[in-house]
């Protein structure tokens, strides 16, 4: 079914009871002329949200109704429209972005992150994004290279012991700890070490120990904000500026008013960066190692590529290596951490030739989009060559959205790519990771796309 279809076959009718229709008797197979009408969809009601039940339903709806489908919620309070067509996706995220705010799936996130960048809207979002953006410039991120490097040196040292003893590692847990450590050091630098000294351990470890992201977790996590507030106070008192994200955000000034961020906003941004910067990266690396362990050809090619990228002088970070990036991009194609983007239409719109009423929830399922046969040959295969420059050039930009697109694209894109390429290069140079498990890991579709159980790997020294 195409985007601009104004003609639908009768089979769609079960989905759209209120369509105004005109029959054309001259045509052998009966067609029905339609005005811009609500999209087709099932009679049965469903609640769509970022949870495990939604993916099989979304897949089924795509098979039955194509690229645009409408579903009414269980309570009947609102409709949701799922879109897979890249023109519509471009329209929602970019062309007509003013008509869309973050949707239903973000309501839960707001409890955890407050009004930080991920969840805020309108003027507040715009002002905050302008003030936070400089902290994520390439130059600043280069400055974090030594801390990313050191965190991996520590990990490799610990893993070397496991490799010698032939003991598998809990990859999921170790990567979660690694990504958390990196983002906390980038945020708080020496204050983070002081916090560990004072408390005996990092109170933020809660994020790796607990995987549920429910209200109880949100309350515990928000309670940690007082620690961040104490760091802010001490820096102000001592008039201390560090080379880290916290200081950059404390020093940021609104370009119109010249004012600093209010403390409430500063705290919300910091708490947002901790969560957004940790889980997504950890889960992407977790899937990447699993995919590599199942694809020896890609693994060999990666080993060859990084051999050329490692520095001659030990202790220096590896040089950028295109193939390492392609491996990560392909991994995020198959397992995009942000697997379901959600928006809400503020005013009426038209998507896929169908009327979308104000208040409709609009879902973009990157997991299905990244496996859509219109854009990807052999979509289930793990093939980093898809990200060679010529292949990227030939593809619709909106067919691949691991970091979303438009003004609300991920602010941490460069940060996470730097962190992930560094990790992959350093670890692949030292070890081969062999999956320990009889069954492939199951995917868990919650706010993030993670593995349901921890992945364990046996490390073989190279």
Which residues form the interface with ligand HEM (CB under 6 A)?
102, 117-118, 129, 183, 272-273, 276-277, 280-281, 284, 332, 337-338, 341, 402-404, 408, 410-412, 415-416
Is the backbone of residue 269 left (phi > 0), alpha (psi -120 to 50) or beta? alpha
Identify which of residues 318 and 402 has a Cβ nearer to ligand HEM in the complex. Answer: 402
Which strand (E) or helix (H) includes residue 391?
helix 389-394
What gap in Å lies between CA 220 and CA 225, rounded to an integer?
Answer: 10
| Two structure tokens written together for 419 | 């962190």
What gap in Å lies between CA 296 and CA 301, rounded to an integer?
Answer: 9
Angle at CA 153, nearest 5°, toward 149 and 158? 150
Is 162 within 8 Å of 173 (Cβ atoms)? no
Identify which of residues 12 and 99 has a Cβ nearer to ligand HEM in the complex. Answer: 99
Residue-wise burial string across 251-284, b where 16 or more C-beta atoms lie within 10 A, e elsewhere? ebeeeeeeeebeeebbbbbbbbbbbbbbbbbbbb
Comparing CA positions, the residue from 382, 344, 342, 386 lying closest to residue 365 is 342
Instruction: Give start and end residues of each alpha helix (H) in 143-203.
Output: 145-165, 171-188, 190-199
Identify which of residues 12 and 174 has a Cβ nearer to ligand HEM in the complex. Answer: 174
Identify which of residues 208 and 280 has a Cβ nearer to ligand HEM in the complex. Answer: 280
Instruction: Give start and end residues of each alpha helix (H) in 200-321.
Output: 206-209, 215-223, 225-238, 245-251, 263-294, 296-309
Identify which of residues 159 and 287 has a Cβ nearer to ligand HEM in the complex. Answer: 287
What gap in Å lies between CA 355 and CA 70, rounded to an integer?
Answer: 10
Q: Nearest approach, Cβ of 115 to ligand HEM (angstroms)?
A: 11
Identify which of residues 8 and 331 has a Cβ nearer to ligand HEM in the complex. Answer: 331
Q: 171-188 vs 413-430: helix axis angle to the nearest 10? A: 130
**Interstrand relation of 354-356 and 68-72 (parallel, antiparallel or unpaired):** unpaired
Give the nearest residue (CB) to ligand HEM: 412
Identify which of residues 317 and 338 has a Cβ nearer to ligand HEM in the complex. Answer: 338
Identify which of residues 37 and 151 has a Cβ nearer to ligand HEM in the complex. Answer: 151
For tokens 């960048």, the residue is: 117
Q: Nearest approach, Cβ of 415 to ligand HEM (angstroms)?
A: 5
Q: Which long-range contacts (CB under 8 A, 24 or more apart) does 392-397 make?
A: 396/86
Identify which of residues 55 and 163 has a Cβ nearer to ligand HEM in the complex. Answer: 55
């Amino acid at each position: 079914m195409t985007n601009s279809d104004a003609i639908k076959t009768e089979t769609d009718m079960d989905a759209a009871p209120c369509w105004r229709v005109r029959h054309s008797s001259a045509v052998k197979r009966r067609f029905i002329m339609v005005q811009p009408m609500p999209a087709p969809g099932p009679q049965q009601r469903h609640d769509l949200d970022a949870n495990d039940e939604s993916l099989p339903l979304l897949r089924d709806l795509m098979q039955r109704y194509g690229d645009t489908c409408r579903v009414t919620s269980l309570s009947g309070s609102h409709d949701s429209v799922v879109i897979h067509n890249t023109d519509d996706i471009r329209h929602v995220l970019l062309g007509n972005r003013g008509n869309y705010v973050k949707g239903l799936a973000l309501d839960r996130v707001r409890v955890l992150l407050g009004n930080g960048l991920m969840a805020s809207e309108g003027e507040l979002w715009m002002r905050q994004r302008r003030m936070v953006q400089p902290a994520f410039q390439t130059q600043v991120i280069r400055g974090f290279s030594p801390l990313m490097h050191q965190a991996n040196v520590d990990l490799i040292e610990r893993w070397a012991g496991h490799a010698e003893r032939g003991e598998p590692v809990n990859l999921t847990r170790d990567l979660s700890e690694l990504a958390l450590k990196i983002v906390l050091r980038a945020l708080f630098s020496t204050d983070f070490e002081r916090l560990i000294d004072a408390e005996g351990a990092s109170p933020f470890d809660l994020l790796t120990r607990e995987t549920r992201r429910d209200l109880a977790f949100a309350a515990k996590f928000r309670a940690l904000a007082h620690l961040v507030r104490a760091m802010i106070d001490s820096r102000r008192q001592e008039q201390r500026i560090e080379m880290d994200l916290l200081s950059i955000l404390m020093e940021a000034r609104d370009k119109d008013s010249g004012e600093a961020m209010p403390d409430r906003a500063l705290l919300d941004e910091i708490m947002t960066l901790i969560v957004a910067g940790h889980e997504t990266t950890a889960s992407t690396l977790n899937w990447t190692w699993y995919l590599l362990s199942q694809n020896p050809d890609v693994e060999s090619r990666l080993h060859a590529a990084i051999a050329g990228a490692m520095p001659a002088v030990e202790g220096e970070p590896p040089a950028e290596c295109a193939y390492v990036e392609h491996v990560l991009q392909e991994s995020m194609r198959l397992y995009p951490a942000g697997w379901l983007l959600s928006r809400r239409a503020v005013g009426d719109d038209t998507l896929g030739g169908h009327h979308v009423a104000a208040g409709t929830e609009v879902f973009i399922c990157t997991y299905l989009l990244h496996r859509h046969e219109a854009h990807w040959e052999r979509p289930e295969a793990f093939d980093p060559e898809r990200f060679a420059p010529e292949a990227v050039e030939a593809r619709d930009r909106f067919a691949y959205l691991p970091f979303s697109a438009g003004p609300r694209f991920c602010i941490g894109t460069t940060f996470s790519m730097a962190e992930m390429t560094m990790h992959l290069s350093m670890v692949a140079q030292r070890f081969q990771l062999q999956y320990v498990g009889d069954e492939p890991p199951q995917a868990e579709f919650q706010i993030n796309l993670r593995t349901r159980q921890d992945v364990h790997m046996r490390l073989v020294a190279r």
